[in-house]
A and B are shown apart, each in its own frame.
Chain A
Amino acid sequence: MEKQNLIEVKKLCVHYKIEYSFFEELDHKGLIQIETLQKNQYIHQDVVGDLERMIRIYRELNVNVEGIDVVFNLLQKELRMREEIKALKNKLRLYTHDF
């Protein structure tokens, strides 16, 4: 993995004012993947958006890491269903006169 796409967890701890143990817990639950390079811990920059969402859910809604896992699974399921609805709506246009 290229280091340029990685962000040091230490930096994120400072930025979000959050303890390292929180990141570790997310890693244990498989919600993020911590990479260790030369004794430093990193996460890929592509997951930062999801990470920020997890922190907001944790802080603003008092949801613990297990809860975040459940929420993310349900959101994934919802996303798939929304895609399915979108496809079905497009299919429905076949049977309408105005499109």
Chain B
Amino acid sequence: MNFVDYYKILGIDKKASEQEVKKAYRKLARKYHPDLNPESKEAEVKFKEINEANEVLGNAENRKKYDKYGKDWQHGEEFEKAQQQQRHQQSSRGQQRHQQPGGGGSFSEDDFSDFFESMFGGARSSSQHGTRGFKGQDFNAELQLDLKDVYQSHQQVLTVNGNKIRLTIPAGIENDQVIKIKGKGAPGVNGGPNGDLYIKFTIQNKTSFKRDGKNLYADIDLDLYTALLGGEMEAETFDGKVKLKIAAETPNKTKVKLKGKGFPVYRKENQFGDLILTYHIQAPTNLSDKEKALFKELQKLR
């Protein structure tokens, strides 16, 4: 457990007045408030830190205790225990009383550092944080899928907070796309609506195709002779092989578009993007003496 420098967190001097503590806290709260920084884990952590700092430095009693023991908090804890023991002995014997600090508000005990817990006990809440939710809490989940998994719509059963949720994953879903499942979050309070479940999809691509939305891209090797003289060849698409006609004298890096051979269009049944193939002409290697001689002859003709 490490010492937490609350003055440093609020960016104030140890001699800062009550007003200066409040001012520093408010300024940082406006900067890092989670409602103003959606999807920012860093802001969330920072906001918790500044709240904790405010719980300590914004409260005269807590600040006094913190200033007194500071870095020697472990020693302070022992001292406090000794004092408490003394108080217990002085009062009625046998009855142990555990003082739980006032809870509630939008911060739970989990929001406080171990350092805070050891010095001040459980969660405390300043009067400012008291918006009790009516709507249940939203849940966030992440689902990692392979590109092949999202080529077709399919059903999957997810377990979120112990509840099984049957989910239809639509074909063509994008990497990092977030889907909202209404009412599958935590239950509401006092008849309020349930929270929602947000699922973020991470699509891994282990195929040789590159994807840009509904279109797929791939490179294809083309032998020199077919490129020069024309012909036919087979090419791999996402759902099988196709035969391609190669025009004579096809230049290197020529692109061909195979209509409808791309990726499914999200939420549009039976609609597909295109597959764009780029030919990469392969020069023959390990030429025999005869081949070399023939190439030289060709060279002379140009």
Contacts and interface: CB of A to CB of B under 8 A. Distances in A.
A81 interface: no
Contact of B129 (A45, A49, A60, A62): A60
B210 A93 contact: yes
Band of interface residues on A: 20 to 34
Given A16-B134, A52-B131, A53-B35, A90 B212 contact: yes
Contact of A75 (B36, B128, B132): B36
Contacts of B175: 90, 93
A15 interface: yes
A7 B205 contact: no
Nearest to B193: A45
Nearest to A55: B131
Interface string A75-92: 100110010001101110
Contacts of A46: 193
Nearest to B128: A60
A51 B190 CA distance: 16
Given A15-B190, A82-B39, A90 B176 contact: yes
Interface in B212-251: 212-213, 217
Contacts of A52: 131, 133-135
A24 B142 CA distance: 38
Contact of B193 (A7, A11, A78): A7
A12 interface: yes
Interface of B: 26, 29-30, 33, 35-36, 38-39, 106, 128-135, 138, 174-176, 189-193, 195-196, 205, 210-213, 217
Interface of A: 7, 11-12, 15-17, 45-46, 48-49, 52-53, 55-57, 59-62, 71, 75, 78-79, 82, 86-87, 89-91, 93-94, 99
